[in-house]
Amino acid sequence: MKTLSHKIQQIEESQTLAFTQRARQLQQSGIDVASLTAGEPDFATPPHIKMAAIQAIDEDFTHYTENQGTAGLIAAIVKKFASDNNLHFEPPQILVSCGAKHSIYNVMQAICNKGDEVVIAAPYWVSYPEIVKMADAKPVIVEASHDAQFKITAQQLRRAINEKTKAFIFNSPSNPTGAVYSQGEIEELADVVAETGIYVISDEIYEKIVYDGTKHFSIGSIKEIRDQVITVNGVSKAFAMTGWRLGYLGAAEQVAQAAAKVQSQITSNATSISQRAAEIGLKGPMKDVQEMAGEFKRRRDFAVAEMSSIHGLKLCAPKGAFYLFPCMEHFAGKRLNGKIIKDDFDMANLLLDEEHLAVVPGSAFGARNHLRLSYACSMKDLQKGMERFKRGCRKLQEAH
Ligand SMILES: Cc1ncc(COP(=O)(O)O)c(C=O)c1O
């Protein structure tokens, strides 16, 4: 058989999916596994959104639509960007795709040339570096430390930029850390973006899930860099619609149209039925979205309180999204059952094998010796998961 492409051999498989898969296999063999790996809300999609999809099917709205998205959905997105984000787009500046992941992929293909560099702040969402590599560009990782609340500074961004830099991927609220940048911090980053002329891909998929009065601020609303920012969002997280595969972006017309060209040769339009559903979702009411965010806060408060009782563990309480990202450095290098637990992979494997708790190693997100635990699960599963996590940490604590 002929070999596979060099490109695909350089692409990592998603570790989130790999650990979810292992947990599922254990579950199928009859073991009661608590899984805190999932990046998707456990809630049902709100009923009025489901009804819109059923109606679309009943009306035979089941054919190709415009590649860029239906006029109704695009109008709803234009309105949403204006009212929620102070972003002012015309319809040709919007592209609807099969999930925010697809939006980011289309943009990368549209703007990157071989040898271009794209700056990514670590800890990062697992797919960013791989999507950059698929566009023949090079991910340049800038580390945001735990002590800096997982946020990079304008100086760090400036240092990472050179003449090859094409773009910076910005994600606030962040997966996996839950960090949310303030308006002031974003304005400082924007100064660097303005000076250097690079693009920003602002992934705002978690904007509706923020806590403690934290306000989401869209970097694209800063006038000076408006045309450089590609704002990406979607319905997966806010409306519990992960399976519907519906994301969108707003950008300078030239960029949006280039991304649309990529899409036109790969998938064509996003699913017609999902587009109808998303249109209704975006038009509101937002009661369900607010209720879900309230429930995430309740779970976050519980999980943070549980974790704060674990000796040696460092946690930066998340201000948004639905993940905890504790630093487990203290537990690395201990010997348990004759085996050295050298890093986060060993810890995640230990938790899965001994405690039947599935979590994702931080290395998958560019942060060694951290673990990612999702609280987008039921309170009951979260309680069970935290119980097992504490027990696992206690074992490590007592090891030498
Ligand atoms: C930061 C971030 N961006 C984008 C996505 C993808 O969202 P979608 O389901 O719209 O493709 C995810 C999903 O986990 C995510 O965490």
342 within a domain of the structure (yes/no): yes
User: Which of 249, 284, 319 marks a domain boundary?
Assistant: 284
Which residue positions in the chain have pLDDT lower than 70?
Answer: none
Residues touching ligand 1 (Cβ under 6 Å) are: 39, 99-101, 125, 171, 175, 203, 205, 234, 236, 242, 247
Same-domain check for residues 52 and 40: no
Q: Give the pLDDT confidence score for residue 123 in this predicted structure.
A: 98
Taking the C-alpha atoms of residue 136 and residue 4, their distance in angstroms, rounded to an integer, is 16
In sequence order, what E strands does the chain have?
Answer: 34-35, 94-97, 117-122, 138-143, 165-171, 199-203, 229-234, 247-250, 323-324, 334-336, 339-341, 357-358, 360-361, 371-374
User: Which of 259, 284, 309 marks a domain boundary?
Assistant: 284
The CATH number that applies at residue 209 is 3.40.640.10
Q: Give the pLDDT confidence score for residue 265 in this predicted structure.
A: 98
Closest ligand 1 atom to Cα of 171: 1
1 within a domain of the structure (yes/no): no
Same-domain check for residues 265 and 316: no
Q: Which of 125, 150, 170 to mutate to test the pocket of ligand 1 (most atoms within 8 A of CB)?
A: 125
Q: Give the pLDDT confidence score for residue 18 in this predicted structure.
A: 78
Same-domain check for residues 21 and 137: no
Question: How far is the centre of ligand 1, averaged over its atoms, from the C-alpha of 363 (Å)?
Answer: 18
Q: Which of 15, 237, 374 to mutate to test the pocket of ligand 1 (most atoms within 8 A of CB)?
A: 237
375 within a domain of the structure (yes/no): yes
Q: Give the pLDDT confidence score for residue 296 in this predicted structure.
A: 96
357 within a domain of the structure (yes/no): yes
Q: Give the pLDDT confidence score for residue 90 in this predicted structure.
A: 98
Question: How far is the centre of ligand 1, averaged over its atoms, from the C-alpha of 196 (Å)?
Answer: 27
Same-domain check for residues 35 and 79: no
Domain range enclosing 33: 6-44+288-398
**Which tokens belong to 51?**
């009804």
Question: How far is the centre of ligand 1, averaged over its atoms, from the C-alpha of 2 (Å)?
Answer: 34
Q: How many domains does the chain fold into?
A: 2
Q: Which of 127, 232, 239 to mutate to test the pocket of ligand 1 (most atoms within 8 A of CB)?
A: 127
72 within a domain of the structure (yes/no): yes
- Give the residue whose CA is nearest to atom 7 of ligand 1: 100
Nearest to 234 by CA among 224, 226, 242: 242
Same-domain check for residues 188 and 105: yes
Same-domain check for residues 349 and 204: no
Question: How far is the centre of ligand 1, averaged over its atoms, from the C-alpha of 246 (Å)?
Answer: 10
Q: Give the pLDDT confidence score for residue 165 in this predicted structure.
A: 98
Same-domain check for residues 178 and 313: no
Q: Give the pLDDT confidence score for residue 396 in this predicted structure.
A: 87
- Compute and round to an integer the Cα radius of gyration of the chain: 21
User: Which of 284, 309, 344 marks a domain boundary?
Assistant: 284
Taking the C-alpha atoms of residue 305 and residue 253, their distance in angstroms, rounded to an integer, is 46
Same-domain check for residues 237 and 172: yes
